[in-house]
Amino acid sequence: MKKPVLALATLSLLLAPALAAQEEHASGPLTVEGGLMFWTIVVFLVLLAVLKKFAWPAILGAVEAREKALEEQLAAAERDRAEAAKLLEEHRKLVADAKTQSHGMVLEARQLAEKERAVAMEKTKQEQEELLARARREIAAERDRAVADLRREAVDLSLAAASKLVGQRLDGDADRKIVLDYLATLDGGR
């Protein structure tokens, strides 16, 4: 590093008088000055060497670090996208399962309601039949009582009529038995 700088300094000392002579000439935007051009190239090369030695590795390292960070971010974004897609698919499965389960529950509830309704209808029908049977039994028992009462009344009326006809009182159990037997023969003949 010291050798190029030393050579540059020596060269500049040698060319300084020539440059001073050139400066006396008229300068303008379109005039070409050899010394200025030489020093511009030298400064550019020195600056290029310094930048290559010190700045270029730092800039290149920063660019590579940024590139690596961007690649990592892209990879993370891809992983996140894949995970989000996986979670979305799981969510869709869960929603589908929930719909299937709810549909099954509704169907099961309908079937259970139908069974309960059928059981309730059967129970109601059974209770109705029991009430009807009990009413028929009560009606039959009442009819039997009424027939028995009517028979007693008929026997008493028959005995009263017969006693008036015969002229004597028929109260005995034997007389009652005769009338009851006669009425039984009349019922059997129907």
Burial 110-131 (b: 16+ CB within 10 A, else e): eeeeeeeeeeeeeeeeeeeeee
Contact at 8 Å (CB) between 159 and 177?
no
First to last CA, the chain: 152
CA distances from 106 to 100, 116, 118 (A): 10, 15, 18
Q: In the chain, what percentage of residues exceed pLDDT 70?
A: 76
22 confidence band (pLDDT: 50, 70, 90): low
Q: Which two tokens stand for residue 153?
A: 């009344």
Q: In sequence order, which residues have a C-beta less than 8 Å from that of residue 31 and are 6 or more positions away? A: 25
Lowest mean pLDDT among 11-25, 116-130, 135-149: 11-25
Write the DSSP symbol of residue 55: I
Contact at 8 Å (CB) between 154 and 175?
no
Q: What is the pLDDT of residue 170?
A: 60
The C-alpha atoms of residue 165 and residue 152 are separated, in whole angstroms, by 19
CA distances from 64 to 56, 57, 114 (A): 12, 10, 74
Q: Is 87 exposed, middle or buried (0-12, 13-18, 19+ CB in 10 A)?
A: exposed
Look at residue 32 and tell me whether its pLDDT is greater than 90. no
Q: What is the pLDDT of residue 41?
A: 92
Q: What is the pLDDT of residue 4?
A: 63
5 confidence band (pLDDT: 50, 70, 90): low
Give the pLDDT confidence of 127-175 residue by residue, as tens digits.
Answer: 999 999 999 899 999 888 888 888 787 777 777 666 666 655 566 777 7
Q: What is the pLDDT of residue 150?
A: 81
Give the pLDDT confidence of 37-80 residue by residue, as tens digits.
Answer: 899 999 999 999 998 999 889 889 999 999 999 999 999 999 99
Residue 158: how many other CB atoms lie within 10 Å: 19
More confident residue, 136 or 185: 136
Q: What is the pLDDT of residue 104?
A: 92
Contact at 8 Å (CB) between 27 and 61?
no
